[in-house]
Amino acid sequence: MDSIYSYPSSIEDFRMEKKCFHKLSGILLTGLLTYLSHGEDYEDMVLSGNTRERFLKEMIPPANGIPSHDTFNRVFSGLEPDLLRERLKNHGRDLIGLLSEKQICLDGRKLKGVSPGSRGNTGLYIVNARVAENRLCTGQKRADDKSSEITAVPCLIEEPDIEDAVVSIDAIGCQRDMTGRIVEKKGHYLLALKQNQPDLPDDASCGFMACPPESICEEWEYDHGRYETRKCSIINAKDAVPEENMSSWPGLRTLVKVETSGMIKDRKSKEIRYYITEEGMKASCFNAPVRGHWGIENQLHRHLDVTFRGNTCRDGKGHAAENLSTMRKLALQIIKEYPDKLSLKKRRLNAAYNIEYLKKLIT
């Protein structure tokens, strides 16, 4: 795999050469180092660059010193998002390898700092593709609002080779053409059911009441003061879904029901979720991917919002919000892969205080 600092060098500069005082590769690398070392915004990028100017010169000699925060703003606002997104995808694929027999989780996240009504902003959603087994992001796609996630998801399915991989999507991705695309690419699907489909959720609910499960699997877990029970049941889709509906869902074979009961101290909770899949495995095979899908919330979105404070970012000009989101994901993946016992927060702090530690992260 290429060194991390080679990724910025491979991006073609979109600016007029005669008017550029600072190399694009140096600007992008400074931004990445800032996120690796506990920085958050353009002012932090300037501070990070000034503090590590000698280190930066060893890798990509910066022309005319460190850029101002306005220069960082202009570059991240004007840079085409596909260029950075491709580097994120390549970094994830280099670490993951083949996607065969892995779970690809697709889920959308709103950039909370880009708030509706702010200077004409309508908000920005990013749909992320994450491999559950490796906990790495392999792609992202912009959606202008929540409803636009439906158009963004197919793009993330088309790009990678998903043969023999399991694609899991929340209820918004439970669409007939989506299942068709996945089956055409020889992948497997596990799609959540909600009321966005007029009949299928009711068919599933009634089917599990009328038909004895073909297979049941229960799991128990105690973690961080929470006791949780997960019961997975499956039935043949033909026993619950009318024939005219079956034909419109390519490959549909199994309905999955997952009952989750939890208790923290005296508070109890219970949730029932339904899924569809074209696989015919036992119930014991579905608990892990159902749980694995929600890892995208806990292990990706939460870290972007909390560890990297992405939900406080107000840089909504041009492509800035999307590009900075990509930089945070790339920084998160680099930090996660480093083999020590520190928390993610402590690794970022260590990178801020210890230049040798920062070098180890990116080389």
- In the chain, what are the domain boundaries? 6-80+342-362, 84-303
Mean pLDDT, the chain, rounded, equals 85
Helix (H), strand (E), coil (C) string for 305-321: HHHCCHHHCCCCCCCHH
Confidence of residue 1 (pLDDT cuts 50, 70, 90): very low
pLDDT in tens, 296-312: 888 888 888 888 887 77
Q: Residue 183 in contact with residue 250, Cβ under 8 Å?
A: yes
pLDDT for the residue numbered 264 = 81
| Torsion-angle region of 231 (φ positive above 0: left; ψ -120 to 50: alpha; else: beta) | beta
Q: Could you tell me whether strands 215-223 and 226-236 are parallel, antiparallel, or unpaired per DSSP bridges?
A: antiparallel
Angstrom distance (rounded) from CA 208 to CA 287:
17
pLDDT in tens, 94-134: 777 777 788 999 988 887 655 555 554 556 788 888 898 88
Which of 241, 231, 242, 328 lies closest to 283, judged by CA? 231
Confidence of residue 180 (pLDDT cuts 50, 70, 90): very high
| Averaged pLDDT, 15-25 | 83
pLDDT for the residue numbered 61 = 65
Which of 334, 343, 337 lies closest to 306, judged by CA? 343
pLDDT of 318 over the 90 cut: no
* Count of residues making up the chain: 363
Greatest mean pLDDT among 62-66, 93-97, 198-202 lies in 198-202
What percentage of the chain has pLDDT greater than the value 90?
39
* Residue 271 phi, psi dihedral angles, 5° rounding: -145, 140
Angstrom distance (rounded) from CA 298 to CA 261:
18
> Of 50 and 92, which is predicted with more confidence?
50
* Residue 80 phi, psi dihedral angles, 5° rounding: -65, 125
Residues 325, 337, 351, 85, Cα dihedral to 10°:
-20
pLDDT of 343 over the 50 cut: yes
Superfamily the domain 84-303 falls into = Transposase Inhibitor Protein From Tn5; Chain A, domain 1 (3.90.350.10)
Greatest mean pLDDT among 110-114, 149-153, 173-177, 341-345 lies in 341-345
Model-level pTM?
A: 0.84
Reduced to 3 DSSP states, what percent helix, strand and coil does the chain have, rounded to the nearest 5? 45, 20, 35
What is the DSSP secondary-structure string of 50-97? HHTHHHHHHHS--TTSSPPHHHHHHHHHHS-HHHHHHHHHHHHHHHH-
What percentage of the chain has pLDDT greater than the value 70?
92
Angstrom distance (rounded) from CA 20 to CA 80:
17
pLDDT for the residue numbered 35 = 94
